């Protein structure tokens, strides 16, 4: 019989691998949008619809999970999430028209939402004694996927005009993970101690602390997804980087994201969750401003790395703060925060595309400084305000 620690390690590894796939899905649009737009004869605003429908699928998945009160067993949800996301990417690669591409991006987004909620909740269940660090470590693999995805895409697109190959590779890797997930016996959501089933609109939704946490993750996710969607386009159109180096810049940003989550996973328990949130928001504001206003290419790339590093801890740390405040509503808290993140990722990239069509991609991206600047006073308030833990 397999030792418990080994089994736990394998379950953790497959969850981390599923988060790696999320990183692929998040960046795949940003590295191929110019090719898809050319094939389907779309402008920058219309192309942004792909991000919108992917995020809409993610939102519906989260709502479905929430409506089930988090009582759906974790393994089927994780399995279906991987299947839908990977199948959606493969389908997008096989699509014969824009409507089919939209449908496939929606399926990939629905799978993304299922993995988000099930992966985060199962991680908390497997590591209840250090859930903050475990969540940060798990979400670090999203950053690794966001790093590897552009490198894979940049290499393929440097030597080939076939953008569909990128989707075949990244979707196929997800399909290879399914047998491992099917063979392992994951804990159900009920494994989270003392969790209560959410009925209707739970009072915690109206608490000031939770609203601010939801605002933080909404603004971060919207800004971060906009950068993932359009920074490659920006580097090609404004900075005039070659294809590989434009995709490489996106990889550098996501390398920073990975590094930031790695650091957070090591220090957040000692430093304090809310201290990490405040430091990350201030650093992100300084980095995004410097990266978009400098004319030096080297400084720009360095600042994008730093932006990713400061952004890196915001998502898992926000969930960890909420989980600590509402320990009896883990699934509901995770679902609502992922929903807030999904709404941000649905609206911001599309709005950035529309504004960039009217103003130009240079000015369109600079507008992202505004939501990032709002995060700073929100996290400052969360840091200095004494918040009572939910009972």
Would you list the DSSP string of 222-237?
HHHHHHHHHHHHHHHH
| CA pair distance 154, 152, nearest whole angstrom | 6
Instruction: Kindly state the tokens that stand for 44.
Output: 């920058």
Burial of 129 (0-12, 13-18, 19+ CB in 10 A): exposed
pLDDT value at position 321? 86
Among 146, 326, 306, 312, which Cα is nearest to 221's? 312
Is the Cβ–Cβ distance between 285 and 340 less than 8 Å? no
In DSSP notation, 156-191 reads HHHH-S-THHHHHHHHHHHHHHHHHHHHS-PPPGGG
| CA pair distance 123, 65, nearest whole angstrom | 16
Instruction: Kindly state the tokens that stand for 262.
Output: 């790695």
| CA pair distance 298, 295, nearest whole angstrom | 9
Longest Cα separation, the chain? 63
Report angle CA 16, 48, 161 to the nearest 5 degrees. Answer: 80
**CA 145 remoteness from chain centre:** 10
pLDDT value at position 35? 82
pLDDT value at position 85? 95
Is the Cβ–Cβ distance between 311 and 276 less than 8 Å? no
Q: How confident is the chain (391 residues) per 10-residue block, as mean pLDDT? A: 69 90 86 80 77 87 71 76 95 86 92 87 74 74 84 86 90 93 70 47 73 94 89 87 85 86 80 89 96 93 95 86 78 79 87 88 93 95 69 37
In DSSP notation, 14-27 reads HHHHHHHHHHHHHH
Q: Which CATH architecture has domain 4-384?
A: Up-down Bundle (1.20)
- Classify the C-alpha dihedral 201-206-210-214 as positive or negative: positive
207: enclosing H helix or E strand = none
| CA pair distance 10, 157, nearest whole angstrom | 34
Burial of 289 (0-12, 13-18, 19+ CB in 10 A): middle
pLDDT value at position 374? 96
pLDDT value at position 203? 67
Among 90, 97, 103, which Cα is nearest to 166's? 90
Helix axes 273-293, 314-325, angle to 10 degrees: 160
Q: What are the backbone dihedrals phi and psi of residue 69, each rounded to the nearest 5 degrees, phi first?
A: 65, 20
| CA pair distance 271, 40, nearest whole angstrom | 49
64: enclosing H helix or E strand = helix 49-67
Instruction: Kindly state the tokens that stand for 117.
Output: 């909620």
pLDDT value at position 259? 87
| CA pair distance 295, 55, nearest whole angstrom | 33
Is the Cβ–Cβ distance between 365 and 291 less than 8 Å? no
In DSSP notation, 270-327 reads HH-HHHHHHHHHHHHHHHHHHHHH---HHHHHHHHHHHHHHHHTHHHHHHHHHHHH-T
């Amino acid at each position: 019989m397999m030792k418990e620690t080994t089994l736990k390690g394998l379950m953790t590894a497959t969850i981390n691998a599923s988060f790696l796939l999320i990183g692929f899905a998040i960046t795949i649009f940003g590295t191929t949008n110019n090719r898809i737009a050319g094939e389907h004869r779309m402008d920058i605003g219309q192309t942004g619809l792909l991000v919108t429908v992917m995020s809409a699928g993610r939102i519906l998945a989260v709502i479905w999970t929430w409506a089930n009160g988090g009582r759906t067993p974790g393994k089927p949800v994780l399995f279906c999430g991987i299947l839908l996301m990977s199948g959606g990417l493969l389908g997008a690669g096989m699509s014969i028209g824009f409507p089919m591409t939209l449908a496939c991006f929606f399926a990939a987004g629905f799978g993304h939402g299922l993995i988000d909620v099930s992966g985060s909740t199962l991680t908390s269940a497997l590591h209840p004694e250090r859930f903050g660090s475990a969540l940060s470590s798990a979400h670090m693999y999203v950053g690794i996927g966001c790093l590897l995805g552009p490198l894979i895409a940049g290499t393929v697109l440097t030597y080939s005009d076939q953008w569909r190959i990128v989707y075949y590779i990244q979707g196929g890797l997800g399909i290879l993970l399914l047998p491992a997930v099917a063979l392992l016996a994951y804990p159900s959501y009920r494994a989270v101690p003392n969790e209560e089933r959410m009925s209707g609109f739970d009072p915690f939704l109206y608490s000031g602390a939770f609203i601010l946490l939801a605002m933080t993750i909404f603004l971060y996710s919207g800004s971060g997804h906009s950068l993932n969607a359009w920074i490659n386009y920006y580097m090609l159109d404004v900075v005039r980087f070659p294809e590989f180096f434009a995709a490489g810049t996106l990889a550098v940003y996501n390398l920073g994201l990975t590094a930031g989550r790695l650091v957070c996973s090591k220090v957040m328990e000692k430093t304090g969750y809310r201290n990490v949130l405040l430091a990350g928001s201030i650093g992100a504001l300084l980095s995004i401003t410097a990266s978009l206003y400098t004319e030096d290419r080297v400084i720009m790339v360095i600042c994008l790395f730093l932006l990713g590093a400061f952004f890196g801890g915001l998502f898992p740390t926000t969930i960890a703060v909420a989980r600590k405040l509402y320990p009896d509503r883990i699934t509901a808290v995770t679902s609502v925060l992922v929903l807030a993140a999904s709404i941000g990722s649905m609206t911001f990239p599309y709005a950035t595309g529309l504004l960039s069509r009217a103003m130009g991609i240079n000015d369109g991206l600079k507008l992202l400084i505004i939501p990032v600047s709002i995060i700073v006073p929100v996290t400052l308030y969360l840091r200095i305000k004494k918040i009572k833990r939910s009972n």
